[in-house]
């Protein structure tokens, strides 16, 4: 049984004989929703045109919709009510656009940017962490772009009869956008530190005032998308500043690009620290220069594990270049991308091959780095395999 909050009694009935996962939750729906398998399969389809991926995307989205965590659009509270990080709403929105308009009603009602972000506008700290708050913001931005003008209502869930028709999608989109713009400037922008980081406490581990770089990359997805959607010069300027300052900070402070692996000196770690900045309740500055694995114990997989922390961050460096024209972001981005996928420096990679969660974490956004790089300068970059 999954014993950690907020989801209780998730069944380990899908995965088996995976001792390397330790106590990790094996529940199929939660693992597939963690980084949104449906989204990733839709991306695979859009990039290849292969209908097999479209079939996978539809099946994964519909399976999550039917699961105990959504239950046909009826779960609104209780132990199966998913936090933003596990909602996988991006894939469900694509499915709603792809023949399932009955999903829109629940998706709109359950996007929780109001609770996680809007009501926290003037707080002195992030509400929970940059991942939860960032996902809530991301889904609000997505809905502000794609919620239809009209969509069917299912107040009792999609297994019951339709209860009406929403005709106010346009005004809802406008309200979502206005709230997201305000939050971007006055919540996320205000709480970004002078060094470019976002900090929070991790109470369960007695960690204080720290940043988890991979979570920052998830928030930056919403910052990039909102920068594309908003027409406000003020909001665009704030987001540009957030994205570029964050990328410079992550590479300068959190990326272990030159750090030699002590017990395998032929390699450098070339990955993000798991924690950067802050420390513990007993030593508040313990992680001022980062916290991460220090040795491999003879297992090169530890290096890949460290590099897996890059997975959610690649995209931001590509977009930072697009909006700034500063090729420094490509230099930084190429180094981090090469560390994750293999380059002329070494042949190690991240953990995309390990399982669905790791695959989704890698490919939900990292491909955008190359897309923006190629669209800007016409090259995937020297030294990258299969370019």
pLDDT in tens, 257-293: 999 999 999 999 999 999 999 999 999 999 999 999 9
Instruction: Give Rg (Cα) of the chain.
Output: 21
For the cut 70, the answer to whether the pLDDT of residue 7 exceeds it is: no
Q: Is residue 268 part of a domain?
A: yes
The share of the chain scoring above pLDDT 70, in percent, equals: 90
Mean pLDDT to the nearest integer, 9-32:
51
> In this predicted structure, what is the pLDDT of residue 34?
86
Q: Is residue 257 part of a domain?
A: yes
**Please, which residues have CB within 8 angstroms of residue 361's CB and are 6 or more apart in sequence?**
34, 35, 308, 311, 312, 352
For the cut 90, the answer to whether the pLDDT of residue 387 exceeds it is: no
For 37, the token pair is 């398998």
**Please, which residues have CB within 8 angstroms of residue 171's CB and are 6 or more apart in sequence?**
none
For the cut 50, the answer to whether the pLDDT of residue 4 exceeds it is: no
Range of the domain at 324: 192-387
* pLDDT tens per residue across span 129-142: 999 999 999 999 99
Mean pLDDT to the nearest integer, 340-368:
94
> In this predicted structure, what is the pLDDT of residue 214?
98
Q: Is residue 381 part of a domain?
A: yes
Mean pLDDT to the nearest integer, 162-178:
98
Q: Is residue 143 part of a domain?
A: no
How many domains does the chain fold into?
A: 1
Q: How confident is the model at residue 33 (pLDDT cuts 50, 70, 90)?
A: confident
For the cut 70, the answer to whether the pLDDT of residue 241 exceeds it is: yes
Helix (H, G, I), strand (E, B) or coil at 100: coil
Per the prediction, the chain carries an average pLDDT of 92
């Amino acid at each position: 049984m999954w014993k950690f909050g907020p989801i209780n009694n998730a069944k380990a009935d899908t995965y088996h004989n995976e001792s390397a996962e330790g106590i990790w939750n094996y529940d199929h729906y939660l693992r597939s929703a963690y980084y949104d398998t449906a989204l990733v399969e839709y991306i695979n389809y859009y990039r290849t045109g292969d209908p097999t991926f479209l079939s996978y995307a539809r099946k994964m989205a519909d399976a999550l919709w039917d699961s105990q965590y959504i239950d046909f659009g009826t779960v609104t509270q209780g132990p199966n009510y998913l936090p933003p990080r596990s909602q996988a709403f991006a894939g469900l929105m694509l499915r709603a656009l792809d023949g399932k308009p009955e999903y829109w009603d629940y998706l709109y009602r359950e996007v929780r940017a109001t609770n996680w972000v809007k009501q926290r506008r003037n707080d002195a700290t992030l509400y929970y962490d940059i991942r939860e708050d960032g996902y809530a913001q991301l889904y609000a931005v997505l809905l502000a772009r794609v919620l239809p003008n009209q969509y069917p209502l299912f107040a009792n869930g999609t297994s019951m009869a339709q209860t009406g028709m929403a005709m106010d999608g346009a005004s809802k989109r406008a309200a979502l956008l206005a709230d997201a713009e305000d939050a971007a400037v006055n919540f996320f922008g205000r709480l970004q530190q002078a060094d470019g980081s976002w900090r929070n406490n991790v109470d369960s581990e007695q960690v204080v005032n720290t940043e988890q770089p991979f979570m920052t990359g998830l928030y930056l997805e919403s910052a990039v998308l909102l920068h594309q959607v908003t027409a406000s010069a003020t909001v665009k300027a704030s987001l540009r500043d957030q994205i570029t300052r964050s990328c410079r900070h992550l590479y300068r402070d959190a990326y272990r690009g030159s750090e030699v692996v002590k017990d395998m000196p032929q390699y450098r770690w070339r990955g993000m620290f798991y924690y950067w900045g802050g420390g513990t309740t007993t030593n508040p500055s313990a992680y001022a220069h980062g916290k991460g694995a220090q040795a491999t114990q003879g297992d090169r997989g530890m290096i890949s594990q460290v590099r897996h922390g890059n997975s959610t961050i690649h995209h931001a460096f590509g977009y930072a270049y697009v909006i700034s024209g500063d090729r420094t972001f490509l230099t930084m981005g190429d180094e981090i991308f090469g560390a994750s996928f293999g380059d002329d420096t070494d042949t190690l990679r991240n953990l995309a091959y390990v399982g669905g969660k790791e695959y989704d974490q890698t490919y939900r956004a990292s491909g955008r780095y190359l897309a923006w790089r190629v669209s800007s300068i016409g090259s995937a970059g020297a030294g990258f395999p299969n370019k």
